[in-house]
Each structure stands twice: as C-alpha cells, then as structure tokens.
C-alpha cells in the first residue's frame, strides 16, 4: 500500500495499530480527534505498509486506516505527527534530519493528505509537540536542552512568535509528555517530580507560566524512598474539563480535576500509556 492510501486496519502487514497505540517501543503518543470524524493518529514503526509515513490515522470503529506521507525527504531521521488541531484540519509534527539539521523542529501538516508543511518552531531537535490550545492559535510542547538534558514545557504561537517557557528551570519533567491543554484554555496538565527524590505526579500550570501547582491525587507521587509511593504519568484533560486521564502502575485511571475520585479504568495487568479521550460524551 502506498503512503497516503487507505486500507483495512489489519492491512497487508497484518499489524493492528490499535493494539500498539499507547505502548512504548518506537511509537509516539496517540491522539484522538474530538472534532469531526472519530479517528486516532498514532506513530507506528514501521508504518503498516512498510513505506515511510509521518503518521497512521486509524478509525477504531471501522478498522480502516490511512497513512500520510513524509512531506519532505530531508526528514530522514524522523517525522512524526501525533497531535490533532482542534478542528481536525492539521496535525502537529516533530521533524528531524541528518541531511540538514537546520530543518529540525516542530511543524504542522494537513491531516487530509500530509501536505501544507508549516514550520512552528526550530529551537532544537529535542522537541515533542504536546497539544494545541482550544482556539488552535498556540501549541504547548516539551523541549529538552541538548547541553543540560533539562526538559521544560514551552508555549508558542502557531506562527512561531511568543515563545515562552512555562515550567521553572530545574523542575524534572518527562521528555515524552508535551502537556495537555484544558478545554477552557487556562491550564495545562503535565507530569513532573516536585523534587528529584520524588515520584512523578500530576501538575497544572497556566499558559503564561503562572499558577503552577500539584494536583492533590491520593496515591500519586511521594518519596522514591517510600516503598508504598506510586508515580503517575502522561495526564490528559477530558473534553469537558472535569476529569483527567492518567497512567498509574501501568494501567489507565481517571481522576476529577480537583484530584478526587481516582478510578481505575483498565483491568490490572492489561497495560497502557498515553491515554486520550474519544469524541463521545462522558458516561454518567
């Protein structure tokens, strides 16, 4: 199957991207399209067709999938597009190149055909797009400094202007978590350690860097030296802003936005990472 073509989820390769989504080992975090069609963007390596592609877009209801081509052969190291714009028209992508490292950066492409390449920011290769703002005008992303190894969250306008670091230097973040924007637009949720000797826990901060605080979730965080402490990871806001999905002990949980009501969604031992919410209303 050629890049850009459509097929069945099991396709010619026999692989099922639904079973891959959210696991590590060559994948980018999956992202569910809330507006418009019910589709999931997931980076599967190699792509189901075996040809280079920037992302595999899957319909989990019909099992149909389509691949978007890499928009420029200069991106020979990686071109991964895991994040939908709010209206579903574009995807945010990480591009890197050994041929021309000056092209490294975050881009967007059309979700329809993978064309319309636009540069958002090119501060270094070590960037992971996290989420669009609800109005689609800004992007939050994780940036890892090449020299220090320090990961921080940044916000930038889609034209590359207004670049701002929103997490304090020295705070320990997960470089694979680019943050999740609340539907109200005033908070970004992410995982971090409150101190180097603490487990990862869930935090929120405003897009201007103000209001940094830990979400008080019983059973998340604590001292690494405490054998009963548990880390929580890769949070994602629900579409109505009332809940947060997260990974805990290798399983998926939800919690109310105020930190109460921790609830296990997946059976123990099933495994799962990088949860995202579908377009359907929350169950009562």
Give the pLDDT confidence of 111-150 residue by residue, as tens digits.
999 999 999 998 765 788 899 999 999 999 999 887 888 8
Arithmetic mean of pLDDT over the chain? 82
Contacts 24+ apart (CB under 8 A), 52-58: 52/3, 53/3, 54/79, 54/80, 54/81, 54/91, 54/93, 54/109, 54/114, 55/80, 55/81, 55/82, 55/91, 55/93, 55/114, 56/17, 57/111, 58/9, 58/17, 58/18, 58/21
Alpha helices in the chain (DSSP H): 17-20
Q: How confident is the model at residue 199 (pLDDT cuts 50, 70, 90)?
A: very high
Asked whether the beta carbons of 142 and 159 are under 8 A apart, the reply is no
Higher per-residue confidence, 23 vs 233: 233
The CA-atom distances, in angstroms, between 157 and each of 88, 106, 210 are 18, 12, 18
Instruction: Identify the pLDDT of residue 165.
Output: 96
Instruction: Identify the pLDDT of residue 45.
Output: 66
Block residue for tokens 């800004």: 138
Residues written for the chain: 284
Q: Is 262 exposed, middle or buried (0-12, 13-18, 19+ CB in 10 A)?
A: middle
Q: How confident is the model at residue 12 (pLDDT cuts 50, 70, 90)?
A: very low
User: Would you say residue 25 has pLDDT above 70?
Assistant: no
Q: How confident is the model at residue 14 (pLDDT cuts 50, 70, 90)?
A: very low
In tens, the pLDDT along 208-232 reads 999 999 999 998 999 999 999 999 9
User: Would you say residue 28 has pLDDT above 80?
Assistant: no
Interval 172-193 mean pLDDT: 94
Q: How confident is the model at residue 49 (pLDDT cuts 50, 70, 90)?
A: low
What is the number of other CB atoms lying within 10 angstroms of the CB of residue 12? 11
pTM of model > 0.85 = no
């Amino acid at each position: 199957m050629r890049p850009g073509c459509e097929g069945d989820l099991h396709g010619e390769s026999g692989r099922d991207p639904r079973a891959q989504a959210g696991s590590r080992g060559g994948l980018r975090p999956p992202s569910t399209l809330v507006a418009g069609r019910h589709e999931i963007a997931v980076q599967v390596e190699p792509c189901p067709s075996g040809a280079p592609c920037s992302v595999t877009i899957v319909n989990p209801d019909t099992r149909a999938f389509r691949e978007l081509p890499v928009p420029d052969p200069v991106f020979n190291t990686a071109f991964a597009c895991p994040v939908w714009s709010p209206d579903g028209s574009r995807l945010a992508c990480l591009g890197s190149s050994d041929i021309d490292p000056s092209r490294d950066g975050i881009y967007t492409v059309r979700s329809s055909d993978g064309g319309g390449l636009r540069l958002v920011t090119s501060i270094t290769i070590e960037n992971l797009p996290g989420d669009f703002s609800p109005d689609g005008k800004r992007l939050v992303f994780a940036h890892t400094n090449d020299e220090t190894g320090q990961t921080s969250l940044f916000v930038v306008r889609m034209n590359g202007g207004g670049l701002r670091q929103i997490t304090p230097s020295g705070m320990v973040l997960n470089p694979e978590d680019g943050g999740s924007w609340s539907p109200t637009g005033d908070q970004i949720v992410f995982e971090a350690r409150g101190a180097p000797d603490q487990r990862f826990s869930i935090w929120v901060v405003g897009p201007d860097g103000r209001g940094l605080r830990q979400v008080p979730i019983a059973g998340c965080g604590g001292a690494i030296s405490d054998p009963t402490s548990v880390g929580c990871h890769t949070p994602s806001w629900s579409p109505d802003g009332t809940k947060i999905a997260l990974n805990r002990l290798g399983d998926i949980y939800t919690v109310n936005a105020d930190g109460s009501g921790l609830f296990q969604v997946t059976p123990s031992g099933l495994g799962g990472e990088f949860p995202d919410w579908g377009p359907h209303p929350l169950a009562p």
